[in-house]
Amino acid sequence: MLTAISFLFFTALVAFLTWRVTRNSDLATDEGYFLAGRSLTGVFIAGSLLLTNLSTEQLVGLNGDSFNDGLSVMCWEVVAGASLVILALVFLPRYLKSGIATIPQFLEARYGRSLRAVTAAIFIIAYMLILLPFVLFLGANGLNGMLGLHTQFGVSELQMIWILLIFIATLGGAYAIFGGLKAIAVSDTFNGAGLLVGGLMITYFSLKLVAGSDAGLGGAFEKIAESDPDAFQSLGTSNESTHWPTLFTGVLLLNFFYWTTNQQIIQRTFGAKNLAEGQKGVLLAAFFKILAPLILVLPGIAAAYLVIAAGDAEMIEGVGRTGDGAWNTSRAYGALVARVLPDWLLGFFSAVVVGSILSTFNSVLNSAATLYSLDVYKMYLNPTASSEQVRKSGQICSMVVAILAVIAAPFAFYGRDWVFSFFQGLNGVYFIPLAAVILVGLFNRWADGRSALFTLLLGLGLMILGTFQSGGEGGWLESIFGSGFHYMGAVFALLVVLQLGLSAFGLRRQEAYEQVDVGAVDLTPWPYAKPVGIGLIVFVLAIYAWFADLSAFT
């Protein structure tokens, strides 16, 4: 009963506070609905960036991977901090100068109309078939694991996951469809505060359980390191999903694209009140991303110790095994939460988890609606559409995408192990070619739309080949490149060189591209942006150096 009461209370509180803050928002115009009227301050930008990203794919997926690989999987969080610094200092000033609402709009201004349509279609399809199904599935799977809902309701695990998928999609869709970007950003910030508090509690209680009632938290680290000397190694070994050389290829590129050019993420920065507020929000988010392993990696390491070294019966039962006898790591975080939290806190944290799922889900829906409404509907289907018609087209798109994502979720991810790494591999299919085209467009003023379109389509073909026709373990991709992440790096380098080459030998603009300031917001930078950004980069390098055991590589 306490679990249900605390769950409902926190969920209702966030909804009420969001309504209070956004009740007078302008949703009648395109800019008001899709960009929060360009009124977001640093705190709301940071909160929305973090909660759009920090969902069950990290809570469940990354803790599941750290169960197997230990601290080395922190690269997905710590390197993200460095990528956000690049967004704040390099990309954001250019985006806000263009006054854009979508990345395809930026590509149209840079390359021409054809790139806008193609990239909008790529984003919408990828969100519908990759990102949203992943978020929904891990959310439903994690929530079921924490609360044991399939047991309480007397249904199978898969049936319960279907029920939760529909519940999450319905509630999240309501925020995205009726509230617009400002409602999403505000609810993200409130849920983010809850996730930070709840996540740190999980880490504390987990380490306390490992250490024992009479020992301090330091005892937990000693026990874990003694049972698994590689658990706190920042550089992954060759038998881990993120072998250390991948930090400079696929891991770096995926983080770079995700945080600097991914519509789902950076749309809230387009809604910044001015450049200074945008930079404050992005750099604040970078700081929290660097510290995110405290709640996204350490619990998974603790769970592995409790299952493998300590033989905790409740944890072993909660994690279970897959069909081939391996530990079912996707259940590790849910089992840990159920093991360490008292009932009254379990309800609160379940509400936080639901909030984080909704945050990512409704943010992606809002981005898909923005892309469809502004880059497809208004550009091609109804160029004379009114603001109301544009908004309604986005709402219809949100509903269609949500339904298809619910249907796709179990088929794409149910029963898979190493689910977070699998998800990142799928992301690479479109991340890598888009990152190459956008990067060349930003830093080469002569590349034209024909070279960009050819490069983009070739890159998609190469990434689809490497992802789905790699020959499996021991196949051609592994024998040549050693890792799918190295393959991503090779494809990225090839695409950049190819587009630059095409531009140099004929496929080039008649005149160099010059970006125009449309006057959308004040572009005065935050005076402390550069020193804070440099400090955060140094912080990232220091963390890696501190936890790097180089003797393991000699």
Q: Stretch 170-198: mean pLDDT, rounded?
A: 69
d(CA 231, CA 74): 12
Q: Stretch 208-219: mean pLDDT, rounded?
A: 82
In the chain, where the domains are located? 2-415
Better pLDDT: 34 or 357: 357
Q: HSE-up of 117 (CA within 13 Å, CB side)?
A: 10
pLDDT, tens only, 381-392: 888 888 888 888
pLDDT, tens only, 433-450: 998 998 898 888 888 889
Query: What's the pLDDT score for residue 534?
Result: 96
Asked if 451 and 110 touch (Cβ cutoff 8 Å), the reply is no
Task: Name the phi and psi angles at 447, rounded to 5.
Answer: -60, 140
Q: Stretch 191-214: mean pLDDT, rounded?
A: 84
d(CA 441, CA 443): 6
Question: Helix (H) and strand (E) counts for the chain?
Answer: 27, 0
pLDDT, tens only, 507-525: 787 788 888 888 888 999 9
SS3 content of the chain, % helix, strand, coil (to 5): 80, 0, 20
d(CA 527, CA 280): 10
Q: Stretch 105-133: mean pLDDT, rounded?
A: 86
Better pLDDT: 103 or 420: 103
pLDDT, tens only, 295-325: 999 999 999 999 998 888 888 888 888 777 7
CATH of 2-415, one of 2.60.120.10, 1.20.1730.10, 2.20.25.90, 3.20.20.70: 1.20.1730.10
Asked if 281 and 49 touch (Cβ cutoff 8 Å), the reply is yes
Short-list 475, 402, 363, CA closest to 166: 402
User: What's the whole-model pTM score?
Assistant: 0.81
Tokens of 274: 């001015």
Better pLDDT: 155 or 216: 155
**pLDDT above 80 (res 142):** no
